Amino acid sequence: MHILGVNAASHNTSAALVRDGHLVAFAEEERFNRERYTMGFPEGTVRFCLEQAGITADELDLVVFAGRPTAEILHSAVNALRLAGRPWYRSWLWDQVLVTGIYKGVTQGRKMRSRTGYAGAFRYLNHHECHAASAFYCSPFDEAAVLTIDAQGDGVATSLHVGRGRTLRKVRDWAFPEHSIGHFYDCVTEWLGFKPVKDAGKTMGLAPYGDPAAVREKVARVAKIGSHGDVTFDLDLLKFEKGRRSSSRFEAVFGPARELGEDPTGARCADVAAGAQDFVEEAFLALAREARELTGMKNLCIAGGVGLNSVANGRLDLTGIFDEVWIQPAAYDAGLALGAAMIAWHDNGGDRRFVMEHAYWGPDTRTDDVRAALQRSKAQWREVDDPARAAAELVAANRIVGWYQGRAEVGPRSLGNRSIICNPQRQDAKEILNREVKHREPFRPFAPSCTLEDAGRWFESGRPNPFMLKVWNVLPEARPNLPGITHVDGSARLQTVTARENAIYHRMLVETGRRTGMPCVVNTSFNIRGEPIVNSPLDALKCYFSTGLDALVIDRFVLEKSARPVG
């Protein structure tokens, strides 16, 4: 049975194809159309999924869309009455929710038929149920509590489910907008001069530069945590105004929004980022305690856009509230496509057969395609028998290397197949990468990849973290030797790697360790600011030639530029 799940009418549009309960292909449209956070029908991704499965659209048994237009419209109508005294809400309601809901209902199926020739049946599924399914049905657990946390979807901001075997049961949910952790974080992100939804990671990276205590009373005016995990926000302070999420009253609490050119790491801005991040972490813990109390489960799954807050995830993981915490690697709206397909499989009587042990579900690397791209570029290259050893030699020589192997990862993190890597022991690694390669803000940190068997030697937790979605501290004695990946607060967003999950990347780390003493590299996504992660050999070559990358190891081919001085 072939089921195609589609997220087609929110940001991070995507598609996932499931065959008899097993994932075959899963990717985001931005990788194909090269538009970051793209919206609209994921035509390129659907085409890729069908090709990867070796079928045509008329061989699909079912197409499932994430999101129920009727639920979105009903929620909007109810809230229009409930919040009738707030004219700001009525304005936003029409622009953002009703129009989006109508778009979902009218156009998704029509585009699927016109662009693929599919003539079969459709289903539309609840947003947060799809989030929950994307986590639980792909987790290693037979039973678990499932928290989904984002800005909003189908009228809900946060939900709690219980997963057992083939079933998911909703326990409770928290409504949008007054309980929306994601909306609050978006407002702070916008106040900091970043783009809401798209730049939440910048707020998280900025937070360690500030002091949350300095703004705790101000945050408390906007947001409160109740005794049962209820997170409530003052809607008048978080109200929407035309063209923005936060409001003039929000600025009355925190001061004027950051001006263009103002240093975000200064206390005025960094303290607000720190206060927001601290609140989100406390909200995570409160929700987790409530989830444990209500469900009695020992394990927790997390999905939804706020589930990408790796600092909160790492803190939760170490509390022991749950024995294990598992986060779906494409936890944001891209994961809805996967959840929709999994719900349809189980609703049709399918057994649980799949555990998502890795995130490599995108387009594969084909030697003939790479060779053709190299010949087209007229670049000079050499062919090697052992790309892992070649990359390790370059890393040990303090070169910054583009690394392109195997199938592309799904989700926002490069996990060793579409990565930029370098020696984490380089004192100037962060500065060079931010300024000359990634072209992004200098305060932003970089993450490490380390072999799982060695992670406990340098990081406070040596537990598996294959999707780079938990932040833990670097051990104090290791920090002087790992300046490239140690953030200002001593933390790092660690990716652990095993030979089973990614044999060639693991071998590259082992070979690096033989030369440097540490089987660890800086690992950042293979792209520059504002562009999606590379998705083809030509994308990789373009990034290599237009940035400060020193070398490129793509399949079994190696390209190098002239050496530069190392600081």
Give pLDDT tens digits for 140-174: 999 999 999 999 888 889 999 999 999 999 999 99
Q: Do domains 2-131+335-347 and 139-327 have the same CATH topology?
A: yes
Give the homologous superfamily in CATH for domain 367-560: Carbamoyltransferase, C-terminal domain (3.90.870.20)
- Summarised one tens digit per residue, pLDDT across range 271-299 is 999 999 999 999 999 999 999 999 999 99
Contact yes or no for 137/339 (Cβ under 8 A): yes
Q: Could you read off the pLDDT of 362-393 as tens digits, one per residue?
A: 999 999 999 999 999 988 999 999 999 999 99
pLDDT at 73 over 70: no
Q: What pLDDT is attached to residue 373?
A: 97
CATH class of 139-327: alpha beta
Q: Does residue 85 surpass a pLDDT of 60? A: no
- Supply the pLDDT for residue 92: 53
Does 130 have pLDDT greater than 60? yes
What is the band of 11 on the pLDDT scale with cuts at 50, 70, 90?
confident
For residue 177, cis peptide bond before it (omega within 30 degrees of 0): yes
Contact 84, 93 (CB under 8 A): no
Question: What is the arithmetic mean of pLDDT over 316-333?
Answer: 97
The residues assigned a catalytic role are 11
Name the helix (H) or strand (E) containing 278. helix 267-295
Secondary structure (H, E, C), 423-462: CCCCCCHHHHHHHHHHCCCCCCCCEEEEEHHHHCCCECCC
Please state, in angstroms and rounded to a whole number, the distance separating the CA atoms of residues 120 and 137: 25
Question: What's the pLDDT at 508?
Answer: 98
Residue 548 has pLDDT above 90, yes or no: yes
Match 């373009």 to its residue by tokens.
Answer: 542
For the purposes of burial, counting CB atoms within 10 Å of the CB of 500, is it exposed (0-12), middle (13-18) or buried (19 or more)? exposed
- 229: phi > 0 → left, psi -120 to 50 → alpha, else beta; which? left
Pairing of β 122-125 and β 14-19: unpaired
| Fold assignment, 2-131+335-347 | Nucleotidyltransferase; domain 5 (3.30.420)
For the chain, domain boundaries: 2-131+335-347, 139-327, 367-560
Query: Mean pLDDT over residues 28-38, rounded?
Result: 95
pLDDT given at position 489 = 98
pTM of the model: 0.94
Alpha helices in 25-126 (DSSP H): 30-33, 43-53, 69-82, 87-92, 99-116
Average pLDDT over the chain, rounded to whole?
Answer: 92
Return the number of other C-beta atoms located less than 10 Å from residue 210's C-beta.
24
**Position with higher pLDDT, 197 vs 192:** 192
How large is the average pLDDT for residues 97-107?
59
* Confidence band, pLDDT 50/70/90 cuts, at residue 329: very high
pLDDT average, residue stretch 317-322: 96
pLDDT tens string 213-264: 999 999 999 999 998 888 999 888 877 666 677 777 889 999 999 999 999 9
Q: What is the mean pLDDT of residues 98-103?
A: 56
